[in-house]
Amino acid sequence: MKQYTADRIRNVAMAGHGGSGKTTLAEHLLYLAGHIDRIGSIESGNTVSDFDPEEIRRKISLSTSLLPIEWNDYKINLLDVPGFPDFIGELYSALRVVDTVLLVVPAQAEIEVGFENAWELCEQYQLPRIIFVNKMERDNADHTTLIQNLRATYGNRIVPVQVPIGVQTNFQGVVDVLHNKAYLGKERDITAREVPAELHAEVQQVREQLMEAAAETDDALLEKYLNGETLTNEELVQGFHAGIRNGTIVPVLYGSAQAGIGLTPLLQALIELAPSPVEAPAPKAEDPRTSETVEVPRDPNAPLCAFVFKTTADPYVGKLTYFRVYSGVMRADSQVYNANRERDERIGQLFFMRGKNQEATSEVRAGDIGVVAKLQETATAHTLCDRNRPLLLPPIEFPDPIYTVAIVPKTKADEDRLGPALARLQEEDPTLRTRRDPETGQTLLMGMGDLHLESVIEKLKRKFGAEVTTEELKIPYRETITRPVQRVEGKFKRQTGGRGQYGHCFINMEPLPRGAGIEFTETIVGGAIPKNYIPAIEKGVREAAEKGVIAGYPVTDFRVVVVDGSYHEVDSSDQAFRIAGSLAFQSAASQANPVILVPILEVEVEVPEAYTGDVMGDLNGRRGRIQGIESLGTGRQRIRALVPMSEMTRYALELRSITRGRGRFRTRFSHYEEVPFNIAQSLIEKYQKEKAAAEH
């Protein structure tokens, strides 16, 4: 692969809903450009983009693929981004290093949630967009209604720059209105021709609209247009190029990836309309020496500044680090500085990647995207730079996990492999989190949905030989008491020959406010119990509280006061008083009307207004208490509620079903409160059955 200057590079992420045809489109573009001799298919599992065994098995993209396309002496670094919401972290990382987003949408009229997510992130990152309407050859294609829906949702900056030739099964090509040329044929046989006579009127009407849109991007073009002059093809392209860069125009193109129609004008549009790295806004970085914000020059002669946007971990290939160079040159067999870790990093062999295929290169220049193997210190979102000019590019703000499963290693060998394997996978996927819950003892795997975590579990087995099963999430219930009790006795006396065991105490016990924890004190007078045995009583109380009274959950929010007792000068010991304290606690707590507490979560749900009623009804059905609703001013509403944690374990999946993927939520712990009687009874019965089974 040859080297390209930044002005001849286009960094483009291809985004949209899962199943919109992105991977198929990438495959046909690679074929059109001559990079492959045979077009693979998702069904056959032989596309360049989807090479992971799990992608082949599931027939969907699970991670972003880098697919450089060389065309007419330009290089388009195409990033094929998964469209399913479970893998939205891939979208966040890909959009950080591109200058344009190619939004792929099927021609079947409806705007799907994957498209909406990508658009919203483009708005957040202020990225130029081009829309490709795919599957124009399908029986149910309705591009007219789709454009109406896009404009109704996103405004009049949605501007078709092509006119389809034929519709549905008669779809044959497109008219490029900017150049007044018709493109007919398929794949490599697409040819440019004169506009068909029957489309002259429609094309002229669209061209008038394009001239108006282009004129609004430039004062000179506007003056010419208002004077009644016709804008040339070059001026139209100039105006649209400017409009895309400043976000006032989102051009729409038509085609069929599967049929290979409309692909040549798509590549030409990416070259002509999309900004190069030189034209894109210069990124801002922090100078860690001064904490000042500086602009990174887009200059190959400046000191190096590169950003890592993707890491893959493989026990055979090793760690691969994907990066974009913003300034300077990344050279093979060199040393760079990791500004995040404040350590030097040795750069070995550099590659350009196309799917899983590596092509060695001696350098990666400013504006380009490359890959390096086996970095020791570097992770996703790190900045690599010149030690003499350290810079920190902003991190990627990945979304927090919304779905959790508990995992259990199958064998001791699996358990030994699990920790290192999870660490490697978290390097690869920043939306994946893992932790051990200290209250339940479970190992928790947290991610963006069931499909996401299923793929993680499959990778653990395939890549690292760590096989796990899932189990039901345990809710960290607690117990507490609701009324005070006085002078409850705990006595431990044992005489078996020789020295005996003797510990004896009386305690008072009373409830404390939620969140107060455990308080322990004593009011012993007259030396009824020597002071040196009081800590042993406290230890016994706390140990017994940890085991629970009615359902095996830790008891909390109470005060114990040791008020009296007795001891034996020979037989008393710490052990005897620890047991006496435990017995006193068990007796007192049982008399103090114990109840079970459930953690309550503060839940915030953001949904389109159309789903507000359904979501509120669902939250009420989960024993939730609605705390408020507010309009977000974007056709969406935020619902705040308090909901028991036990009702939220699968909420990510159920909210997705209710809102067709358009809802999102976050939670945080609020407080504990008493569970209803019927639920308490079922928890107590379950505990008693498990206890009885364990004893037998």
Q: What is the CATH number of the domain that holds 49?
A: 3.40.50.300
Tell me the DSSP string of 163-218: EEES-GGG--EEEETTTTEEEESSGGG-EEEPPPGGGHHHHHHHHHHHHHHHHTT-
CA atoms within 13 A on the CB side of 71: 24
* Token code pair at residue 455: 């793929």
Encode pLDDT of 14-44 as tens digits.
999 999 999 999 999 999 999 999 999 998 8
CA distance linking residue 602 with residue 620, whole number of Å? 14
Encode pLDDT of 378-390 as tens digits.
999 999 999 999 9
| Whether residue 268 sits in one domain with residue 124 | yes
Asked if pLDDT for residue 567 goes beyond 80, the answer is yes
**Dihedral, 20, 26, 27, 29 alpha carbons, nearest 10:** 120
What is the mean pLDDT of the segment spanning 138-158? Answer: 95
* CATH classification of the domain holding 653: 3.30.70.240
Query: Domain for residue 526, yes or no?
Result: yes
* Token code pair at residue 314: 């493989």
Encode pLDDT of 641-674 as tens digits.
999 999 999 999 999 999 999 999 999 999 999 9
Which of helix, strand or coil describes residue 139?
coil
Query: Domain for residue 226, yes or no?
Result: no
* CATH classification of the domain holding 357: 2.40.30.10
| Whether residue 170 sits in one domain with residue 89 | yes
Asked if pLDDT for residue 633 goes beyond 90, the answer is no
Measuring CA to CA, which residue among 438, 304, 424 is closest to residue 366? 304
Asked if pLDDT for residue 271 goes beyond 70, the answer is yes
The domain containing residue 443 runs over which residues?
403-471
Query: Domain for residue 208, yes or no?
Result: no
Query: Domain for residue 225, yes or no?
Result: no
Asked if pLDDT for residue 68 goes beyond 90, the answer is yes
| Whether residue 380 sits in one domain with residue 457 | no
Query: Domain for residue 220, yes or no?
Result: no
| Whether residue 460 sits in one domain with residue 485 | no
Query: Domain for residue 684, yes or no?
Result: no
If one counts the domains in the chain, the total is 5
Measuring CA to CA, which residue among 237, 240, 254 is closest to residue 179? 237
| Whether residue 66 sits in one domain with residue 100 | yes
Among 223, 238, 273, give the residue marking a domain's end.
273
pLDDT of residue 166: 94
Supply φ then ψ for residue 87, to 5 degrees: -115, 30
| Whether residue 429 sits in one domain with residue 496 | no
Among 433, 452, 471, give the residue marking a domain's end.
471
Q: How confident is the model at residue 423 (pLDDT cuts 50, 70, 90)?
A: very high
| Whether residue 463 sits in one domain with residue 330 | no
Pairing mode, strands 518-522 and 558-566: parallel
Q: How confident is the model at residue 635 (pLDDT cuts 50, 70, 90)?
A: confident
Please answer whether residues 450 and 402 qualify as being in contact, where contact means their C-beta atoms are separated by less than 8 angstroms: no
In this structure, the chain runs to a length of 696
| Whether residue 129 sits in one domain with residue 31 | yes
Q: pTM here? A: 0.89
| Whether residue 25 sits in one domain with residue 131 | yes
Query: Domain for residue 117, yes or no?
Result: yes
Taking all residues of the chain, what is their mean pLDDT, rounded to a whole number?
94
CA distance linking residue 295 with residue 350, whole number of Å? 26
CA distance linking residue 601 with residue 588, whole number of Å? 30
Encode pLDDT of 172-204 as tens digits.
999 999 999 999 999 888 889 999 999 999 999
Asked if pLDDT for residue 500 goes beyond 90, the answer is no
| Whether residue 515 sits in one domain with residue 641 | no
pLDDT of residue 191: 87
Asked if pLDDT for residue 497 goes beyond 70, the answer is no
Query: Domain for residue 163, yes or no?
Result: yes
Please, what's the b/e burial string for 535-544 (b: 16 or more CB within 10 A of its CB; e: otherwise)?
ebbbbbbbeb
Q: How confident is the model at residue 498 (pLDDT cuts 50, 70, 90)?
A: low
Measuring CA to CA, which residue among 99, 108, 156 is closest to residue 129? 99
Q: How confident is the model at residue 315 (pLDDT cuts 50, 70, 90)?
A: low
Instruction: Give percent of the chain with pLDDT exceeding 90.
Output: 90
Q: How confident is the model at residue 317 (pLDDT cuts 50, 70, 90)?
A: confident
* CATH classification of the domain holding 428: 3.30.70.870
DSSP percent split of the chain into helix, strand, coil, nearest 5: 30, 30, 35
Among 568, 593, 618, give the residue marking a domain's end.
593
| Whether residue 439 sits in one domain with residue 490 | no
| Whether residue 617 sits in one domain with residue 493 | no
pLDDT of residue 381: 96
CA atoms within 13 A on the CB side of 278: 9
Which of helix, strand or coil describes residue 692?
helix
